[in-house]
C-alpha cells in the first residue's frame, strides 16, 4: 500500500458493469485503491476509462442498466457495496459528498442557492434552528469566496456564473463537513483563471476541514497540483498507483509515460513534435484478450497480447499493472 495510514475508504476488486442490449460493458473491471483520512487521491484517465463510474459506484449512484457486480467498498469500516439505499442516503448527506462537472445539473433550479445550502446544513445538523442554519449558510457562502453572501443567498442558480455555481456546490458539500469529498471533474467546465480560484479554494478548505478528497480528472496538471496519491485508469482498470511525486518523476506504465509525454506544456517548444499514443481507446465490448493497452503500447511483448496483467506491488510502495515489471 502506498499509504500506511488508516484507510478511510478502501475499494477492493470493484466491478461495475452495464448490461446493454449489445452486451455487457465492463466500465469498471476490478479496481483497487484506498484513501486515508485527510488525503487526496487523484484518479486520472481519458474519457470512457471508468473514472466517473468508479466515483458513482463508491457513492452507490449507479443507475440501471449498470450494476456493481463484485468487490467491496469499505468506508469507515462499513461495506457500502452491501449497504441498503436508506443507509446510503444517510451517509451521502453526512459522511460523504460529491461535486460534479456541471453544477447546474445538480442544483435545483427552483430554489435559491441559499435555501439549498441551508437544507444541507440542516441535513447535517438536525437540531439546528432555521435561523441558525440560515446564518451558517451565509457563512458558508462567504467561506467559498462569494462576494455579498447575504444578497447571493437569495439568488437562483441560473443567475450565477459557472464558477459561482461551482462554489455553491462546494459550499453545499462542505457544510456537511464530510469525511470524504468526491469531486468529479470539478473544474473542467471552467476557465483557467476560475479553475485556479476553485483549486485554491479546495486546497484551503481541505486544510481547514480535514476532508479526504477523491479527485477525478483528465487533467494531469490539476492532479500534479492537488493530489497526494494518483491512480491512473485505462479501459476500466487501474494501470498504475503511486504517490504523486514518484508518478510524475518516473512513470512506470507505458500508458502513463505516453500520457505525460503527449501534453504540450509551457516548456515545450514550437515545432518540436509531440509524443503520440498510437490508436484509440478500445471498445469495452471488444476488449483485447491480454493487456488492454497492448494494441497501443510501444513496448508490447508477446505475453502482453495473451495474458492480462494484474496490479502488483513494485519498489517504492507503488503498484503497476504491466508485464515489464
Partner 1 sequence: MNSEQSTVSRDAKAVASNGKVLLSVRDLKKYYPIRGGLLRRTVAQVKAVDDVSFEIKAGETFGLVGESGCGKTTIGRTIIHLLTATAGQVLFDGQDVFKLGGGELKRLRRDMQIIFQDPYGSLDPRMPVGEIVGEGLRIHNIGDPKKREEMVRETMSLVGLRGQYARRYPHEFSGGQRQRIGIARALVLRPKFVVCDEPVSALDVSIQSQVLNLLTELREELGLTYLFIAHNLAVVKYISDRIGVMYLGRLAETSVSERLYEHPMHPYTQALVSAIPIPDPTMRRQRIVLKGDVPSPVNPPSGCRFHTRCPQYIGDVCKMVEPQLVEKEPGHFVACHLY
Partner 2 sequence: MTADSRAVGATEELDLPEMGQWALVWRRFSRHRLAYLGLIVLVFFVVLSFGAPWLAPYPYDKINMNDNYSLPSAKYFLGTDELGRDIFSRLLYAGRISISVALVSTLLSSLVGIIVGAAAAYWRGVTDMILMRLTDVMLSMPTLPLLLVFSKMLREYPTLKDTFGDYLSVFVLVTILTLFGWMYPARLVYSSVLSLRETEFTEAARALGSSGWRILFSHLIPNSMAPVIVISTLGFGQRVVLEATLSFLGLGVNPPVPSWGNMLSQAYAYMLRNPWLAVYPGLFIFFTVLAINFLGDALRDALDPRLKV
**List of residues contacting partner 2 (CB under 8 A):** 20-22, 273, 276, 278-280, 283, 286, 295
Rg (CA), the chain: 21
Which of partner 2, partner 1, none binds 259 (CB below 5-8 Å, type-dependent)? Answer: partner 1
φ, ψ of residue 238 in degrees (nearest 5): -90, 125
Nearest-angstrom CA–CA distance, 243 and 228: 6
Joined together, the cell numbers standing for residue 40 give: 487526496
| Cβ-based nearer residue to partner 1, 128 or 281 | 281
Q: How far is the CB of 101 from partner 2 (least distance, A)?
A: 20
What sign for the dihedral angle of Cα 270, 273, 277, 281? positive
Q: Which of 45, 165, 161 is nearest to 107 (CA)?
A: 165
The least CB distance from residue 276 to partner 2, in Å, is: 5
Q: Which residue number, 132 or 248, has a Cβ lying nearer to partner 1?
A: 248
Nearer residue to partner 2 within complex by CB, 25 or 144? 25
Say how far apart CA 66 and CA 71 lie, in whole Å.
Answer: 15
| Distance of closest approach, residue 262 Cβ to partner 1, in angstroms | 4
Provide the minimum distance between the beta carbon of 92 and partner 1 in the complex, in angstroms, as a whole number. 29
Distance CA 84, CA 260 (A): 41
Judged by the rule CB under 8 A, the positions of this chain that interact with partner 1 are 46-47, 147, 161, 163-164, 191-197, 199-200, 218-225, 227, 244-245, 248-249, 258-260, 262-266, 268-271, 273-277, 280-281
Tell me which DSSP letter residue 1 carries: -
Nearest one of 203, 204, 186 to 195, comparing CA atoms: 186
Cβ nearer to partner 2, comparing 47 with 127: 47
Q: Select from partner 1, partner 2, none the partner in contact with residue 220, using the beta carbon and a kind-dependent cut-off of 5 to 8 Å.
A: partner 1
With CB under 5 to 8 Å by kind, the binding choice for 21 among partner 1, partner 2, none is partner 2
Q: Which does 169 bind (CB under 5 to 8 A by kind): partner 1, partner 2, none?
A: none
Q: How far apart (Å, rounded) are the C-alpha atoms in residues 192 and 57?
A: 29
User: Least Å distance between CB 277 and partner 1?
Assistant: 4
Q: Which of partner 2, partner 1, none has residue 223 at its interface (CB below 5 to 8 Å by kind)?
A: partner 1
Of 264 and 279, nearer to partner 2 (C-beta) is 279
Cell of 137: 449558510
Nearer to partner 2, 126 or 273 (CB): 273
Alpha-carbon distance values, 180 to 7, 69, 123, 262, 263 (Å) = 11, 23, 16, 32, 30
Beta bridge partners of 43: 216, 231
Amino acid at each position: 500500500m502506498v499509504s500506511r495510514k488508516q484507510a478511510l475508504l478502501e475499494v477492493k476488486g470493484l466491478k461495475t458493469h452495464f448490461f446493454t442490449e449489445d452486451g455487457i460493458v465492463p466500465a469498471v473491471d476490478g479496481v483497487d485503491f484506498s484513501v486515508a483520512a485527510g488525503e487526496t487521491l487523484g484518479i486520472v484517465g481519458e474519457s470512457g476509462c471508468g473514472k466517473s463510474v468508479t466515483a458513482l459506484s463508491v457513492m452507490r449512484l449507479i443507475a440501471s442498466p449498470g450494476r456493481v457486480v463484485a468487490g467491496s467498498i469499505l468506508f469507515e469500516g462499513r461495506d457500502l457495496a452491501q449497504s441498503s439505499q436508506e443507509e446510503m442516503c444517510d451517509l451521502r448527506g453526512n459522511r460523504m459528498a460529491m461535486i460534479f462537472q456541471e453544477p447546474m445539473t445538480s442544483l435545483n433550479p427552483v430554489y435559491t442557492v441559499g435555501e439549498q445550502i441551508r437544507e444541507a446544513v440542516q441535513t447535517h445538523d438536525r437540531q439546528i434552528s432555521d435561523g441558525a442554519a440560515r446564518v451558517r449558510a451565509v457563512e458558508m457562502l462567504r467561506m467559498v469566496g462569494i462576494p455579498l453572501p447575504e444578497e447571493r443567498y437569495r439568488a437562483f442558480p441560473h443567475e450565477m456564473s459557472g464558477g459561482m455555481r461551482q462554489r455553491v456546490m462546494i459550499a453545499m458539500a462542505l457544510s456537511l463537513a464530510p469525511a470524504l469529498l468526491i469531486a468529479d471533474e470539478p473544474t473542467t467546465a471552467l476557465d483557467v483563471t476560475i479553475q485556479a480560484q476553485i483549486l485554491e479554494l479546495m486546497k484551503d478548505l481541505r486544510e481547514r476541514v480535514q476532508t479526504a478528497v477523491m479527485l477525478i480528472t483528465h487533467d494531469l496538471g490539476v492532479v500534479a497540483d492537488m493530489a497526494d496519491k494518483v491512480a491512473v485508469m485505462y479501459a476500466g482498470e487501474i494501470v498504475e498507483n503511486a504517490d504523486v511525486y514518484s508518478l510524475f518523476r518516473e512513470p512506470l506504465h507505458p500508458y502513463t509515460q505516453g500520457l505525460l509525454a503527449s501534453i504540450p506544456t509551457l516548456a515545450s517548444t514550437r515545432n518540436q513534435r509531440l509524443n503520440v499514443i498510437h490508436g484509440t481507446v478500445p471498445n469495452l465490448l471488444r476488449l483485447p484478450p491480454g493487456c488492454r493497452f497492448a494494441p497501443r503500447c510501444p513496448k508490447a511483448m508477446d505475453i502482453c497480447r495473451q495474458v492480462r496483467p494484474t496490479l502488483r506491488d513494485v519498489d517504492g510502495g507503488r503498484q503497476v499493472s504491466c508485464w515489464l515489471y
